[in-house]
A and B are shown apart, each in its own frame.
Chain A
Amino acid sequence: MGVFKVDWVIEGEVPFTSPNCRQAGTLHLGNTFEEITAAQQTTWNGRSPEKPFVLLAQQSLFDSTRSPTKDKNVVWGYCHVPNGSTKDMTEAIERQVERFAPGFRERILAKHTFNTLQLEEHNPNYVGGDINGGVIDLAQLYTRPALRWSPYRTSAKGLYICSSSTPPGSGVHGMCGYHAAKRALKDIFNIKL
């Protein structure tokens, strides 16, 4: 799956109806279980949902170094889309924000968007706009990238894969790199960590 990403600068804060939302670093915008499930399923089936599940973050509320002035804030958001989709999801994403924060749109001062292919240009690892380098399914979890004894080895001696295509998968934790390096240290340099 890919993502459609939007970054905004807004006047003041996101005007959430629920006060708790104004204290939160991250927001999950998708309402009920049924709506979120339907959005994910639609995307999985290769279509863009009308009511996408949106992840939102409002970093500058808690980190003043992100914005040059206190009365303007940065907002980060994205939703899942099918691989390679170039559909502009800005409108659908902003509608979801507006739903829980009426008046959000009027506060937008600037925005920047990335579709899946623009994201791939930024980072070649998102081949075809797929941000996960291969889907995490049960059978694959410990065997990606290919069925071989160590997931970090390739069949050419001395060449290893250390990206999030290997266990334990995506997210910023560095553990794929650590485990791949450990493998190479043992195989090639006879060093055991």
Chain B
Amino acid sequence: MHYCKSLIVTMSKTEYDAIVVGSGPNGLAAAITLQKSGLHVLLVEGKSTIGGGLRTAELTLPGFKHDICSAIHPMAVASPFFNSLPLEEHSLEYIQPPIALAHPYDNGTSAILTHSIEETASLLGIDKENYLSLIGPIKKNFHSLIPEILGPLHIPKRPIELAQFGLNALQPATWISKRFRTSVAKGLWAGMAAHSILPLNKLTTSAIGLVLLAAGHSRGWPIPKGGSQQIANALASYFTSLGGKIETSFNVESLAQLPSSKAVLFDITPRQLPDIVFPPSTNGNSKNTATGWEFSR
């Protein structure tokens, strides 16, 4: 009897090895990585559809599909993790517009980013060589650099190329713009650096700009056929083909709602986490003190 009881407890404890909360691109990536390693994984999503920033919906008129958040996917096609998955077999197809990006000016002309670095550079007049010398080395080493750039802090496998990238990436975008003489090249550069949410005079704004330009000359800035939702659908389809389980309309307000597991991974911001770990109903103000949780913001 005693034996049975403890067995039941043990079994309910191992209902899932791991649970992932949130089905954005990172939640899906985490769930796949865990399931692929042989674990039994549950992915829960608060909304009725999966995808987070990858959702596509008919927001206006019937039949018109709008990407609610993300639309353009240079980072997805550069991602070493996504590239390791058989997503085409799960109906993901990318379309490359003839021109990745155009940046028009008041005088009716425009700078363009295309697959060919020569073509992009040649429209920048006397800044052609400046462009080639800034972006050329990053484009050349793009495939070996990208896992380093998209990695957490670690000892680099490609220290020299990364250092070269870093020297430029660590300058504020306003410094890099001083390498250019024409307003066409300066404008193109400002648009890339403005993807950062920081003002252009801050450090690290250049990293985004450099990566996006080099990505344009490498794997392009494609759109998924059918909408960004198709990236989420392909990831989810692959995950379930491995045996993973997904539950939608499951908004997690407290850890107590979740089946038992050995690990929970949250595809949410650190600001949302305290309320889930210490739901207001069970534990008024003792966040951050009782069990030593550290939240720096």
Contact = CB atoms under 8 A, between A and B. Distances in A.
Interface of A: 1, 5, 7-9, 16-18, 20-21, 23-33, 36-37, 39-41, 44, 53, 57, 59-63, 65-68, 72, 74, 76, 80, 99-100, 109-112, 114, 119, 122-125, 127, 131-138, 141-142, 144-148, 150-152, 154-156, 158-168, 171-182, 184-185, 187-189, 191, 193
Contact of A112 (B60, B95, B104): B60
Closest 8 CB pairs of A and B: A174-B29, A177-B29, A25-B97, A28-B191, A68-B63, A177-B26, A181-B33, A177-B30
B103 interface: yes
A124 B112 CA distance: 36
A5 B71 CA distance: 12
Contact of B223 (A27, A39, A62, A114): A62
A37 B153 contact: no
A173 B204 contact: no
Interface string B148-183: 011111000000000000000010001001000001
A25 B24 CA distance: 23
Interface string B103-139: 1111011101000000000000000000000000000
A26 B72 contact: yes
Interface residues of B, number: 116
Contacts of A164: 24, 26
Given A37-B174, A184-B34, A173 B25 contact: yes
B184 to A, nearest CB: 9
Given A18-B110, A173-B25, A174-B28, A162 B198 contact: no
A188 B269 CA distance: 22
B284 interface: no
A193 B151 CA distance: 14
Contacts of A110: 60-61, 64
B153 A109 contact: no
B104 A161 contact: no
B27 A154 contact: no
Contacts of B198: 40, 44, 135-137
Given A28-B191, A175-B150, A181-B33, A145 B269 contact: yes
A57 B95 CA distance: 13
B247 interface: no
Nearest to A69: B63
8 contacts: A26-B102, A31-B105, A37-B190, A67-B65, A74-B64, A146-B297, A155-B293, A177-B26
A146 B296 contact: yes
Nearest to B230: A65
Contact of B104 (A29, A59, A80, A147): A29
A31 B108 contact: no
